[in-house]
Amino acid sequence: MRRLGPPSEIGRLAAPLGRLLDAAWQRMHWWVATMVVLYAASGITVVKPDEVAVILRWGRLVGDTPALQQHGPGLLLSFPRPVDRVVRVQTKHVWELLVSTLATVNDWGGNTLDPLTQGYALTGDQNIVHVDMVARYHVRDPAEWAFYGPNADDVLRVEVTAAMVRSLGEMGVDRVLADGRKSLIATATRRAQAGLDAAHSGLELSSLELTRLAPPVALAKEFDAVQSAFIGAETKKKEAQAFAQSAIPKAQADADAALQSARAAAASDLARAKGDAGAFLALHREYQANAVVVRERLYRDAVDRAIGAANVEWVPPPAGTHYQGFRVSLPPVEAGAAAQMPARSKPTSGGGSQVNSDRAPTP
Amino acid sequence: MASAMRTQRWLRGIVGTVALGAIVFYATAVVVREGQAVLITRFGRPLRAATVPGLHWKLPWPIDRGILLDMRHRVYETGHTEMLTRDKKNIIVRTFVIWRVGDPLTFIQAIGDEGGAETKLDGLLTNAAIGTLGGHDLSALVSTDPHDLQVDEIESELLASTAPLALRSYGVTIEQIRVERIALPEQNVKAVFDQMRAERRQFAAKFQAEGEREASRIRSEAELEAARIRAKGAEEEARIRGESAAEVAKTYADAHRIDPDLYRFTRSLDSLDKLVTESTSLILRTDSEPFSLLQSKEPK
C-alpha cells in the first residue's frame, strides 16, 4: 500500500476538481451511473421493417461483403459513438420522381420552340416530340447510396433524360408514337440503369412510365390527319375483306344452286324421256295390232285440239273451182290481244288485215 | 471510511485518465468515414491525404490540421451550348458529368471548394463537346440507321479528352460523360415544323392511297375467286346438262328406233299442237270435216 506523502504540485492543482468530483459523486452517484449505462445502451439501434442498417466503425464499413455489411430489421447491437455509427437506409420503399426535362410547358401551338424553356427531344428522323416521364426507383445498395452515390434526384433526372434522348434518337417518330412505345421504354430503362450503375448511385430503376409522348401542339392537326388516314385505310381494307368474305361464299352458293338445279332438271328430263319412251312403246304395241285405227284416232284427236284451240273461220266452198273476189277479214294479231278480240268474217271489204286468196283453203 | 477514500481515489484516477485520453484522442485522431477523405496539413503545408476509411493519426493542433473532403460522386450539368456539327448543322447540346474528387491534394490546391470545381468543369466540357461534335455529323447523334449512330464513340471521345486533364489539373476524376439533351436553335425549329408538316401530309396521302389499293386488290381478288367458282360451277352444270341431254336423247332414240314412221307421225301431231294456239287463225271450208258432217248424212 502506497504511503500518503505531502501533496505534490499537480495534486494541489487538481484538489478542487477532486473535491468537486467527490461532492458530485456523493450527491448524484445514481445519476452518473445511469448516464454511463444510457451511454453504453446508445449503441442499440432498432431497424424498421423497410430498412437496412450498416455500421461504420471508426468511419469504416463493418463487413467485407454486402451480406455481412447489411443488417435487416430488428435490434442491432453496436458500440456507442464515437466508435460505431449506424446508418439506416430505406431499401424497400419505392420513390417516385417526375422527370420533365423533355416536357413542354405553356406550349400554345406557336410555330417554334425555345430549347432553353421548352423541353423536347429529336427522334431518329429528326422530328420533335415532347416526353413527360415518371421514374420509380429504390435503393439497391444501401452502403453505396449512403456514402458514395450522388444526389438521387439529380442522378436519376440526368440519367433518365440522357437514356430517353438517346433511345428516341434511334427511332422514327411513327414508330415512337405507335407500336414502338414499349420498346422505347425498355431500351431507355436499360440505358438509364447502366448509367445509374456507372455513377455508383446504388439505385435501381423499378419502372419508367411515359405520362405523355406527343408531337408539338402546332403539329397536332397534321398528326391527327395521318392517324385518320391510317384508320380510313384500315376501314377500307376491312370493308374489302368483309366483301371478300361474303362474295366468295355467295358465288359458291350460286354455283351449288345452279348445279342442284341442273341435276334436278337432268333427273326430271330423264324421267320424262323414260315416260315418253314408255308411252311410245305402248303406243307402238297398239299400232302394230291396229295401225289404221290408231293412226286415224291420233290424227283426229290432233285436228280436234287444233280446231278447239285456234280461231276458225269457216268459209263456203267456191262457186267454181277457184275463189274470186273473196275476202276474209282477220282481227289484228297482237300479243295478248288475240284472245280478247274474237275473229269475225266480213264478206265485204272493211278494216283489219285482209287475206286475199284465189285458192281454196285446205284443212 | 478507508474504503470510501479508496473508492474516491479510484474514481479520480478513472475520470482523470478518461478525460486526458479523450483530449489526446480528439487532438490526434482523424476518423475518415466512408465517402470522405481528410487532407492533413502541417502548418498549412499539405502533408498527406487520408483516403482510406478508418482511424488515422496526426499531431495535435496547431501543428497538424485535417481538412475534410466529400468524396461522393456528384452530378454536374453543363449549360446549353450551341455548336456546329461536321455537316454544318447548328445544334444545341447539353451534357452532364458524374465526377468525384480523385486527388484531394490537387483538388484543394487547384480548386479549393466544390463550387469552384463545377466552373472549371464547365469550361473543360464545353470545349471538349464543341471539338468532338464538330468532327461528327448530326446523324451520329440522331438517326434511324444504326450504322450512322456513334453516341458511344462521342461519349468516349469526350471522356478521353477531358478525364486525364481534369485529374491532372484539378484532381477531379470524371467517371461518366453523357449527352443529356440534343435540341435545335429556336430559329431552326420553324423549318423542322414545316418539314414535319410536309412529311405528315405525304404520309396521310400514302396511307390513303395504300388503303385504297389494298382494298381494291382484296376486292378484285375476291371477285376473281367468285368468278372462278361460278365458272367452275357453270362448267359442271353444263356437263350435267349435256350428259342429261345425251341420255334423254338416247332414251328417245332407243324407243323411236323401233318404229321411225310412227315416231315421225306422232312428232308431226305434236308439232301441230304446238303450232296451233289461241292466236292462230284457221280458215276452213264449210265442206271440209268436221263442218261438212253437219251438211251430209254420212261422213266422207
Write the DSSP string, B37-66.
Answer: EEEEEETTEEEEEE-SSEEEE-PPTTTEEE
Cross-chain residue pair B193–A195, CB shorter than 8 Å: no
What pLDDT does B69 receive?
87
> Each residue of A156-206: pLDDT tens digit?
999 999 999 999 999 988 888 888 889 999 999 999 999 999 999 999 999
Q: A96: exposed, middle or buried (C-beta count within 10 Å: 0-12, 13-18, 19+)?
A: exposed
> Each residue of A84-127: pLDDT tens digit?
889 888 888 899 999 988 888 776 667 778 878 888 899 998 88
User: What number is the average pLDDT over the span B51-74?
Assistant: 87
What pLDDT does A17 receive?
76
> Each residue of A224-264: pLDDT tens digit?
888 888 899 999 999 999 999 999 999 999 999 989 999 99
d(CA A214, CA A223): 10
Cross-chain residue pair A255–B236, CB shorter than 8 Å: yes
The neighbour count for residue A290, using CB atoms within 10 Å, is 11
Cross-chain residue pair A339–B279, CB shorter than 8 Å: yes
HSE of A114 in the Cβ direction (CA atoms, 13 Å)? 6
User: What number is the average pLDDT over the span B35-57?
Assistant: 87
Residue-range domain boundaries for chain B: 11-70, 74-184, 197-243
Identify all chain B residues contacting A225, using CB atoms and an 8 Å cutoff. Answer: 200-201, 204
Kindly report each contact of residues B268-277 with a partner whose C-beta sits within 8 Å and lies 24 or more positions away, as own/partner: B269/A298, B269/A299, B269/A301, B269/A302, B272/A302, B272/A305, B272/A306, B273/A302, B273/A305, B273/A306, B276/A305, B276/A306, B276/A309, B276/A310, B277/A309, B277/A310
Residues 282..341 of A with a Cβ closer than 8 Å to B: which? 283-284, 287, 295, 298-299, 301-303, 305-307, 309-317, 328, 330, 333, 338-339
Cross-chain residue pair B31–A82, CB shorter than 8 Å: yes
Residues 237..276 of A with a Cβ closer than 8 Å to B: which? 237, 239-241, 243-244, 247-248, 250-252, 254-256, 258-259, 261-263, 265-267, 269-270, 272-274, 276
Look at residue B43 and tell me whether its pLDDT is greater than 70. yes
Cross-chain residue pair B233–A18, CB shorter than 8 Å: no
> Each residue of A303-337: pLDDT tens digit?
888 888 888 888 888 877 888 777 777 766 555 44
Of A219, A228, A276, Cβ closest to residue B193 = A219
d(CA B146, CA B201): 27
Residue A33 near chain B (CB below 8 Å):
no
Local confidence band at A7 (pLDDT 50, 70, 90 cut-offs): low
Mutate to test the interface with B, among A104, A226, A256 (most CBs of B within 10 A): A226
Q: What is the pTM of this model?
A: 0.69
**Is the preceding peptide bond at B62 cis, omega within 30 degrees of 0?**
yes
What pLDDT does B81 receive?
87
The neighbour count for residue A210, using CB atoms within 10 Å, is 16
How close does chain A come to B38, measured CA to CA in Å? 12
Identify all chain A residues contacting B288, using CB atoms and an 8 Å cutoff. Answer: 362-363
Going from the C-alpha of B250 to that of each of A191, B242, B243, the distances in angstroms are 87, 12, 10
Residues 99..138 of A with a Cβ closer than 8 Å to B: which? 101-102, 111-116, 120-128
Look at residue A9 and tell me whether its pLDDT is greater than 70. yes
Of A102, A114, A269, Cβ closest to residue B186 = A114
Q: What is the DSSP letter of A95?
A: E
More confident residue, A1 or B105: B105
d(CA A88, CA A94): 16
What ipTM was assigned to the predicted interfaces of this complex? 0.72
Look at residue B228 and tell me whether its pLDDT is greater than 90. yes
Listed in sequence order, the residues at least 6 apart from A251 whose beta carbon sits closer than 8 Å to its beta carbon are B225, B226, B227, B229, B230, B233
Cross-chain residue pair A262–B273, CB shorter than 8 Å: no
What pLDDT does A214 receive?
87
Share of chain B above pLDDT 70, in %: 96
Of A146, A147, A170, Cβ closest to residue B143 = A170
What pLDDT does A185 receive?
93
Number of CB pairs, chain A paired with chain B, less than 8 A apart? 381
Of A200, A229, A254, Cβ closest to residue B233 = A254
Does the domain spanning B74-184 belong to CATH 3.30.479.30? yes
Q: What is the CA radius of gyration of chain A?
A: 58
Indicate the Cα dihedral angle B242, B243, B249, B253, nearest 10°.
150
